[in-house]
Amino acid sequence: MDISPANINVEDTGEKKKKKAFYKTVIAEFVEYALHKLSISEGFFLNDEQVKTEEFGLITTFYRIREELKNMGKNYSYNQIKD
């Protein structure tokens, strides 16, 4: 799984939309790893040669992500995870 820098349209104070690039932080790297682990536990990544899809959806909660991070020895707040 790879999460690339996001280009997101955000509203400026003058209500103009600007495209900004958001880059990964150390926390984002750990969140990415936690999402990968949750994806594996949900069975999205199998060693099955017949599974050809490169895209999938993962529905989870901040709580599950936070618990996975705690299992890794990382203790982040919900706001840090959201960012």
Domain limits for position 34: 25-45+55-83
Q: In terms of C-beta density within 10 A (0-12 exposed, 13-18 middle, 19 or more buried), how is residue 19 classed?
A: exposed
What is the average per-residue pLDDT within 36-47?
Answer: 72
What's the Cα-to-Cα distance from 5 to each of 14, 26, 62, 67, rounded to whole Å? 25, 13, 21, 25
78 belongs to a structural domain: yes
14 belongs to a structural domain: no
41 belongs to a structural domain: yes
Q: Is the pLDDT of residue 38 over 70?
A: yes
pTM score above 0.85: no
Integer Cα distance of 55 and 57 in angstroms: 7
pLDDT of 46-81, one tens digit each?
555 555 566 667 788 899 999 999 999 999 988 888
Instruction: State the total domains in the chain.
Output: 1
18 belongs to a structural domain: no
